[in-house]
Amino acid sequence: MPTKMIAGATVQVNEEGYMTNPAEWTKDIAIEMAKEEGLIELTPAHWNVIDFARQSAVQSGAAPTLRTITSNAGVTTKELFTLFPKGPAKKVARIAGLGKPEGCV
């Protein structure tokens, strides 16, 4: 399995760059992944969504879909697209150290 150096740590990733072992995730890795996604700073609103995604994945075993995030994380679809432009569910999953959400192309 491929690996990638992120924030000084070597982590396992798949061919699309999603981490394959959520236990390797740290907040420093999230900050670096966010920069790779074009997000210069993670605000408390970003962290709220990221934390929700990680908690949801622990319960369900998979990264949450856009609908799951907007229904349960206290953000509207418009707010989510503002926080994580152009593919928010995929960006949230990558930054949160989760696999690609089901249903995302």
Residue range 12-22: mean pLDDT, rounded = 92
Is the distance from CB of 104 to CB of 90 less than 8 angstroms? yes
Is the distance from CB of 95 to CB of 37 less than 8 angstroms? yes
The verdict on pTM exceeding 0.85 is yes
Q: Residue 101 domain-assigned?
A: no
CA dihedral sign of residues 69, 75, 79, 83? negative
Which residues make beta-bridge pairs with 5?
10
Mean pLDDT of the chain: 93
Q: Which domain holds residue 51?
A: 3-95
Query: Is 104 tagged catalytic?
Result: yes
Q: Residue 103 domain-assigned?
A: no
Q: Write down the catalytic residue from 2, 72, 82, 104.
A: 104
Q: Residue 23 domain-assigned?
A: yes
Residue 101's pLDDT is what? 81
Phi, psi at residue 36, to the nearest 5°?
A: -60, -30
Give burial (CB, 10 Å; 0-12/13-18/19+) of 65. Answer: middle
Q: Residue 29 domain-assigned?
A: yes
Q: Residue 84 domain-assigned?
A: yes
> What total of structural domains would you count in the chain?
1
Please state, in angstroms and rounded to a whole number, the distance separating the CA atoms of residues 15 and 1: 9
What percentage of residues in the chain have a pLDDT greater than 90?
86
Residue 10 has pLDDT above 90, yes or no: yes
